[in-house]
Amino acid sequence: MDGYVHVYTGEGKGKTTAALGLALRAAGAGWKVLIAQFAKSRDSSELAALERFADLITVHQYGRGGFITGAPEPADVDRARRGLAECNEAIASGEYSLVILDEANVAVKLGLFSVDELLAVIDGRPRGVELVITGRDAHARVINQADLVTEMREVKHYYNDGVDGRKGIEK
């Protein structure tokens, strides 16, 4: 089986949600899945749900709490780079059929790791590993390397009317 590279990017909601849906589908097919979240670290309803699939889905967070909104601190860079190295090892191990690098595009944009480092992960993966990269502002070189690119575009969002994130929907 060939593994393909998916990129879910854009300003609209749904990038992580789409990737998690794919993780659920893969687990249903008996695949082992690794989900690595960069630039964020928080409890969420999806993490609670994924615990039920712990035999097939592994989740690691490489953020320091919340979501980075300003300039990253050295600790943010250290965690992200260590995380990317761990993901590269996990991908090379052949243990996982699907690997999701959630918010990796944002990590590149923030300078947590370079686009070259992310491309090295893409290029170095074994043939059968499906790789999903999410986050706004995907670098043009990542888009060029991908086999599938989906851009989420916001047409309308209730956030703009002052609705906060709701448990079970956004968090």
Q: Which residue stretches of the chain have pLDDT < 70?
A: 1, 42, 66-68
pLDDT of residue 66: 63
Per-residue pLDDT tens digits for 81-114: 999 999 999 999 999 999 999 999 999 999 999 9
Is residue 97 a contact partner of residue 26, using CB atoms and an 8 Å limit? yes
pLDDT of residue 68: 66
Whole-model pTM? 0.92
Per-residue pLDDT tens digits for 116-131: 999 999 999 999 999 9
pLDDT of residue 60: 95
Is residue 151 a contact partner of residue 137, using CB atoms and an 8 Å limit? no
Can you identify the CATH homologous superfamily of domain 5-161? Answer: P-loop containing nucleotide triphosphate hydrolases (3.40.50.300)
List the domain boundaries for the chain: 5-161
For residue 85, CA distances in Å to 30, 36, 62, 90 come to 26, 11, 11, 9
Neighbours of 93 (CB within 10 A): 11
